[in-house]
Structure formats: C-alpha cells, structure tokens
Structure 1
Amino acid sequence: MTRPSTLGGLRATDHVQRTVKEEIRTNLTAALADGSNAFPGIVGFDDTVLPQLERALLAGHDLVLLGERGQGKTRLMRTLVGLLDEWTPVIDGCEINDHPYSPSCVRCRRLTAEAGDDLPVAWKHREDRYGEKLATPDTSVGDLVGDVDPVRVAEGRTLGDPETIHYGLVPRTNRGIFALNELPDLAERIQVALFNVLEERDIQVRGYTLRLPLDLLLVASANPEDYTNRGRIITPLKDRFGAEIRTHYPLEVDEEIGLIAQEAHLAAPVPEHLIEVVARLARGLRESPSIDQRSGVSARFAITAAETVAASALRRSALTGESTAIARICDLPGVLPTLHGKVEFEMGEEGREHEIFAHQLRVATAETFRDRLRGLDLAGFTARFEEGTTVETGELTRGDELLDQMGTVPGLAKVLDRLGLGDAASPGEVASAVEFVLEGLHLTRRLAKETVDGVTVYGA
C-alpha cells in the first residue's frame, strides 16, 4: 500500500488518529481474540504476569515491573512495541513526532498554517517509536525532559522562544512507548520531573510558558526496594503509575529448560539431560538458605552455565582431537568457579562458595537422574563393576575412550531412549549418556567414585 506524503493525501484515506494506548488496546484485543502470541519470547509468565499486564494495557495504565534481576523485565518491556500499529504518520522533520492532524509544537503549528494540505508527511515504523533509558544517578532533568539549547540561542533566538528548547528522551518518544530501567536509581528530584508526564501528560522546561501535550505509554522496571538500598520510587510517583506488576523466575523446571534453550548460544551440543541439570542447579540455588534470596539467582546464571558447559566440550575436542564435541557431566564442575560472581551469598558463608555450588550440583544431578531414569533396570551397568573393573573419565577424556572402557552394556538402548537420544545417537551422545548414568549411580550410592586432579574413577 502506498502511503500518502502530504496532509491532503492523508485526509483522502480512511486513516483515523488514535492515541498510543488506543492503538495498544485495539491490537492487544485482536491478538487475544485470534489466539496469537502478543508477547513473543516471554517464558513462564503465561498464567501469572501476562494476565496482569494485559489488564493494565487494556485499561490504558502506565506501569512498573517489579522483580529481582534476570527475570526478563527488559525483554518484556521491549515486546510491547509489537502492539503498536506497524506504521504511523508524523509531520516530516518533527522532533517530537507530531501527528499531522493535531500538531502541538510551535514549529509544526507554523508549518501547518503555511502549507495547509501540502504539509509534508513522513511514516514512522513501530520499532522507531520505542525509547529506553537506563536510570543512573547522573541522569538529569535535561536528559529526560529537555533543556535550553545554547547553540540555538547563539544563532540569535531569544531565551523566550520555545524553539530554543532541546527536547529530552521522553518528548522525543511522543506517540510511542518510553521504558525506564531501574527507576529507583533515579535521583528523587529527577523523579519529580516525571509527575506531569504521568498525570497531566505534558512537560515543563525551566521557566518557559510551554504546555506540550504528550501521548505515550510509560513503562518502568525496578528491583525490590528492600534489596537495592540504592534508592526508592518516591510515593507520589508510585501513585501516578496505574499498575505495579511483580515478575518472578520460572516456576517449573520445564519453563527454565525452555528459557535456556531459547536464550543460550551453545558452541557445542548439550544433551537435554544436562540442560535439565543446569536448570535444576539454578532452581536449587534460589531455594538455598546460603544464598541471598533478596538478590535472586538470575535466569542469566542458567543461560551462562549452559553456554560454558558447551564451551568446555569444545575445548576438550580441540585439545584431544575428539571428532565431535558433545557436553558431558564431567564438564559441569569445571564451570562452577566462573559463576560465583552471579550469586550473592549470605553473610557467614565466605569461603564456602565452591562447597555450596558443588552440593547443589550433586542434588541437581541426582534429581535429574531419578526423574529421567526412574524404574529403569540399570543392573547392566553395575554388573560391569562387580568384577572389579574401574572406568576412568574426566574433562579431557575423549568419548570413544570412555566407551572402550565400558564395552557392551545391557540396557543402554533404553537409557538412550529415556534421555531423548534415540537409536541414532552419535558416539559422543552415547558417551554423555553413559557418564550421566555412572554419576547418577554414584549419587544414589550404587557406585564408588574418586576424583584426583580432574580425573574421575568409578568403581564398585
């Protein structure tokens, strides 16, 4: 469809001017009616956060997303742009995206009076109607709202001329969505500058007699105040937001696994059972009394862990000449030290960080072993060790070397099937499954295990 380039051409179409919140309400209602996904890429919020968010948007409310780090608040805010119309008309060259039917800034009112139906019209894509700012203590009113532009004053304009104003991020996102990350980090005097934006829907710049009506959806994110201790959302500002929505970490293991699968960029294949171990590890840390739960354990913890496990497999392949890099259970302990910085421990746990991680990893592995292989006859594995045989493995042991030590094991096909590897499993995948079974048998007290200098020996 050809989009008109003048005001007269736009009037000749069936275009109807709508506010941003009307656009969102109409498009969200249509998405709900036809069952399409209005928030792509959001995992684990279907029955909790999203219904609250949908109600807030349908009501036309500005909102705050409140939750610990790594719960997907920013991702959720960025999906809202998909609820805007794909294209919308603006007056060509306008800094604040005035609609051709109702110009509000001094420049656009003057141009409309001069050009009439020949007023040039441009079209803005919805991706360009989203603005985002990370609130930092050094953020100023000028950054958000605007300030006097000394260059324009130097060009000869008087200080009383509204066109000497350099607009801030909020008015430049007029007729769009503005997201403010970590709102409590914003100094209280700066938060006051948002009062008019949220209530009167206008801005005031210094001493100018200027009322600039704004049409936007304001969305903010924040960590719980009892954790951050860096600042707070002042009470009058909280009152001006229409909704406060609490986010959370994935509630089910399957949701955590789905999130890792969606977000992780893996340098080498990581079998499903290892992804589940990583997911259970993250969940175990969130429930551990040794971890500061006010800080939380970010979803980025599990994503980074999966990526590092894959990198460990790739490293083994490069160092040993293994034909295909496939992650195994032996890759997990080596990645734990790199993840300590993503977790805050309770006071008194100093020096026990590695011990806590190792314990939670053992628990996560045992839970996955029981869940995946419950009821399966693993006598073929244990019988292999009753004769006094031992199997040596480690992060630098090739998969084919491990399989040579194990030989033929009765019941292995059923194990591969339970682990989702099937009949066409590669040698690397078979080695990953075998090592997982050995570790599980050890954790359920059916095999002995000794680890020295990165080399692990399983025996009866």
Structure 2
Amino acid sequence: MRSGQERFPGIVGFDETVLPQLERSLLAGHDVVLLGERGQGKTRLIRTIAGLLDEWSPAVAGCALNDHPYAPVSPEARRLAAEYGDDLPVVWRHRSERYGEKLATPDTSVGDLVGDVDPVRLAEGRSLGDPETVHYGLVPRSNRGVFCLNELPDLAARIQVALLNVLEERDVQIRGYRLRLPLDMLVVASANPEDYTNRGRIITPLKDRFGAEVRTHYPPELADEVALVEQESGFADGVLVPPHLAEIVARFTRLVRESPSVDERSGVSARFAIAALETAAASAERRAALVGEERPVARVCDLPGVVHTLRGKVEFEVSEEGREAEVLRHLLRRATYDAFRSVLGGVDLGPLVERFSTGETVESGELVSATELLDRVGPFPGLAELVKRVAPDSDGAPEATPGYAAAGLEFALEGLYLNRRLSKDTVPGGARYRT
C-alpha cells in the first residue's frame, strides 16, 4: 500500500466500496465471505489476494502441508526435521502454488476438504494409528496460503460442520486421529445473498466464524462498466470493435438490470455484457468472411443478433413470459439512443439528413460491407467528424478506415431514426432508412 502498486489487478468499480473493506479484513487477519449476485467478480477478486503473498517461500520438501522448515506442523515434516536437522531438504514455492480453490457442490465430501485415511499407505504396512496414513484434503494443503470456497451455500450442512474447527481453532479432525495442526491460512468464501440470508443454507455457527462479510456489487458508474467489458472481452485477431459499441453494450446491460421485467434477485451478470460484445464482434467477423471485407469492424447492425443468443442469461419475471425478446430489443434501442446522444451529441448531422430529402433510401444490414454502405450514402460534409468521434485515437489521429467510417455512419443513421428524424423499415437481414 505504501508503494502505491496496484493491489488487486483487473478489479474494476470496487475502489471506493469493496476494496477498502477487504483490505481492513485482511489486515485484521479475518476469514472473509464475499456476498454478491452472480457475475460481480467475486472469484476474480479472491484470486488476486494470492498476489499479496511473498513471491517465494520455503517449505519442507515432500510434505503435503507446505510446512515451514523452522516450524513444521505435520507429523511427517516434524519427523524429517528431527531426522535431518540442518540438512532438512527445502523447496521454494511460488505464491501461485499457495492458492487453493474448490467449487462447493452437493457431492463434496469431508475427505475432499479436510482429509481421510489413505488405504494405499495402510496396504504398504503402516498401522491404522500412524498419522502419516492420513491423506490431507484441500483445506490443510493450503496451509500458509489462501483457500477459496466458491458457492459455500451449496455445501451440505454436515460438510459445513467439518469447517468449524478449521475457521476457529485452525486445526483439522480426521476420523479417529488426534491431530493438532495449527494451520496458518486465510479462508475466503463466496456466496449469493439469496442463498446466504433467505434460504438459510449456511449453518449459523459457520457464519459466526467468518470474521468479515463483504458485499460486492455491479459497477456503479457507466465508465466502470465500459472498462470492464472492454477488459474482459476477447475477439479474434484483426476484429475491431469501436468504443461506441462497447458503450451501447454497457448501457444495455445496465438497463436490463434496472428493468422491472427482470427478476432483480437473480441479477444480470457481467458475463452478459461480455458475451454480447463478443457476439457482435463475431457477427462482424462472419460478415467479413462472407462479403470479402479485408478487416472486420463491428457495427450497430451486429447488435440485434445478441438478443436471441443471450436471453437465456436473464431471469425474467413470470408476467413477462413469451415477451423476453421483445423486452430486450426495446432496451437495446434505448441503450443505442442514449449512446448516440453521448457520443455524437453536438455533431451536425443535417447534411446526412439532406441526403434523404429527395426520397432516396439506404439499406444496411449484417451482410452489407462497409464499402458498399459508404457507396450507397455517398460523401457528405461532416463525415470526417463522424469518423473522428467513433474511431479510437492513434498517436493523436483517428484511424480512418472504411470499416470505422461505415460504423460511424450506421451509428448516425440509427440514432437519427431513434430521434425520429429518419424512418426505418425492417427488411430481411437488415434495415432500410428513409425520410
């Protein structure tokens, strides 16, 4: 913190809310449960905690519990320390090896988490009372590190009981063995607030043993939403996605979250926005392959296709059954209108409207190439300013390619239609703009 280095890389929108709470919890040495709706970055945040550990740490070679050479805790490590003394074999473990993670599922057993007797070692001739016959589970194997338990409420109640001693006394109990293992570790769990508070699927004693409860949330600001979508989306090499398209998707996602037609308890994951932008980019790539474009650039015409592919990611209210696609299309138009006012506000689009004054029409669509769209509209005053608004800057000058020009032009046409300065007819595979 004193160095000013980024402590939680890749985490967006939590700087003033979640991260200060988490930092206080870590400095206090508390185990933490992160509560939040799906797709709020809980697991991503937990994984960054391992980056706060020392980059390298010594451990007794060949021991499962990452024992420190000066303070071994497992019976095997203590035996080796007594046997070898100062010649005890030591390995250096990177902090990435000191992070353990388990998705809590109903079939998870105590053996998976805490440990069980290893029948192979018994078959080798060891006695049943020998503590070295124990096969340790994921929790003790994360000693001197961080252990993450995702979706904690899905863990059966009888399995949750096995974690009580781990969180409070920092030891493990395995069948009839009397083991006292002073584990040195941080346990972080994630849960959905619905599961945590209403359905009561986390047993009360386990809730009490977590030192801190931190609530996560979706990005509070539009800029955070856009940054998150651009950061996490992955496109094929060579596919360009203009910034205004990312803004439309971000606005669309926020409108879906706020819509009364959507079940607010389930939330709308950030994966919804990421998948939407990736689908639009894939549509541009498909167009380039079919019509022979040199470099695919995503356009507004690529967005309607996301409605049908992504509606399964949203939980709608029962009253909206059968209207899901209609609701999403309406919200997408609102998002496009808002982004148009934000990005192209103040640009004089009168010359573009004049192109339609003689009754001409312009047809666009997902299989209309950028060059063909530009030819159909023709040159007009203000096109350069339009391209400058939608093209990313490169060394101070916008990258004015036909793809970006067509993306800006189509964005303007759709915005003029949504502002009722143009009319639009739906045609197979696209739309026809007219006065």
CA deviation map 1:362-396 (0-9, x unaligned)? 00000000111222221011111111111011111
After superposition, what is the alpha-carbon deviation per residue over 1:76-115, rounded to whole angstroms, capped at 9, x for unaligned? Answer: 0100111000111111111111111111221221221121
State yes or no: 1:367 paired with 2:325.
Answer: no
The 1:228/1:411 distance shift into structure 2, 3 A limit, reads farther
> Residues of 1 paired with 2:373 and 2:154: CA distance?
53
* Mapped partners of 1:209, 1:90: distance in 2: 24
Match of 2:407 in 1: 432
Q: Secondary structure at the match of 2:315?
A: coil
Q: Distance in 2 between matches of 1:209 and 1:401?
A: 78
C-alpha change, 1:423 and 1:170, in structure 2 (3 Å) is closer
CA contact (8 A) 2:229 2:273 kept: yes
Q: 1:160 maps to which residue? A: 129
Which residue is equivalent to 1:307?
Answer: 278
Contact 2:37–2:193 under 8 Å retained in 1: yes
| Structure 1 residue aligned with 2:217 | 248
User: Which of 262, 275, 281 pairs up with 2:231?
Assistant: 262
Match of 1:455 among 419, 425, 430: 430
Say which SS state the counterpart of residue 297 (structure 2) adopts: coil
* Distance change in 2, residues 1:436/1:54 (3 Å): same
After superposition, residues 15-414 of structure 1 pair within 5 angstroms as 32-225=1-194, 232-267=201-236, 268-414=239-385
Distance 1:226 1:213, change over 3 A: closer
2:353 corresponds to which letter in structure 1? T
SS of residue in 2 equivalent to 1:269:
coil
Task: Provide the residue aligned with 1:10 in structure 2.
Answer: none
Deviates more, 1:84-93 or 1:156-165: 156-165
Partner of 1:23: none
Query: In the alignment, is the contact (CA less than 8 A) between 1:91 and 1:119 conserved in 2?
Result: yes
| Preserved CA contact (<8 Å) 2:18 2:216 | yes
**What is the SS of the residue equivalent to 2:158?**
helix
* Partner Cα separation in structure 1 for residue 110 and residue 314 of structure 2: 34
Residue aligned with 2:180, SS: coil
For structure 2, the 5+ residue unaligned runs are none
Residue identity opposite 1:443 in structure 2: L
Q: Displacement of 1:225 after TM fit?
A: 2.4
Equivalent position SS for 1:330: helix
Aligned mates of 1:342, 1:238 — CA distance in 2: 30
TM-score of the superposed pair, with normalisation by structure 2: 0.96
Give 1:117 deviation, angstroms. Answer: 1.0
Shift of 1:228: 9.7
Structure 1 letter corresponding to 2:290: L
Q: CA deviation at 1:455?
A: 2.9
CA distance, structure 2, for counterparts of residue 228 and residue 339 of structure 1: 29
CA drift at 1:142: 0.6
Residues 295-320 of structure 1: CA distance to partner in whole angstroms, max 9, x if unpaired?
11110111111111011001011111
Which whole-Å CA distance do the structure 2 matches of 1:39 and 1:416 have between them? Answer: 36
Q: What secondary structure does 1:33 align onto?
A: coil
Whether the aligned pair in 2 keeps the contact of 1:184 and 1:230 (CA below 8 Å) is: no
Instruction: Read off the aligned partner of 1:311 and give its amino acid letter.
Output: A
Q: Hey, what's the Cα distance between the residues in 2 that align with 1:129 and 1:395? A: 48
The answer to whether the 8 A contact 2:104-2:149 is kept is: yes
Comparing 416-425 with 321-330, which one deviates more in the overlay? Answer: 416-425
How far is the alpha carbon of 1:412 from its aligned partner? Answer: 1.7
User: How big is the shift at 1:176?
Assistant: 0.7
Q: What are the Cα deviations for residues 37-83 of structure 1, in whole angstroms up to 9, with x where unaligned?
A: 01001111111110111110111111001101111111101001110
| Stretches of structure 1 lacking an aligned partner (at least 5 in a row) | 1-31
Distance across 2 between alignment mates of 1:108 and 1:227? 39
Compute the displacement of 1:418 (Å).
Answer: 2.5
Tell me how large the CA RMSD over aligned residues is.
1.4
CA distance in 1, matches of 2:196, 2:66: 38
Q: Secondary structure at the match of 2:355?
A: helix
Determine the C-alpha separation between the residues in 2 that align with 1:376 and 1:433.
12
The alpha-carbon deviation at position 335 of structure 1 amounts to 2.1
Q: Tell me, what secondary structure is at the counterpart of 1:335? A: helix
Tell me the distance in 1 between the aligned counterparts of 2:293 and 2:147: 50
Question: How far apart are the structure 2 equivalents of 1:105 and 1:323?
Answer: 62
Compared with structure 1, are the counterparts of its residues 73 and 133 closer, same or farther at alpha carbon in structure 2 (3 Å cutoff)? Answer: same
Task: Find the aligned partners of 1:297 and 1:34 in 2 and give their Cα distance.
Answer: 36
2:195 and 2:201 in contact (8 A); partners too = no
Post-superposition offset of 1:209: 1.5
| Distance in 1 separating the partners of 2:17 and 2:180 | 39
Letter in 2 for 1:455: G
**Alpha carbons 2:153, 2:195 under 8 Å: kept:** no
CA distance in 1, matches of 2:83, 2:353: 90
Whichever residue aligns with residue 218 of structure 2, its letter is Y
1:348 CA displacement: 1.7
After TM superposition, the structure 1 stretch with the greater mean CA deviation from structure 2, 170-179 or 421-430, is: 421-430
Q: What is the CA distance between 1:165 and its match in structure 2?
A: 0.7
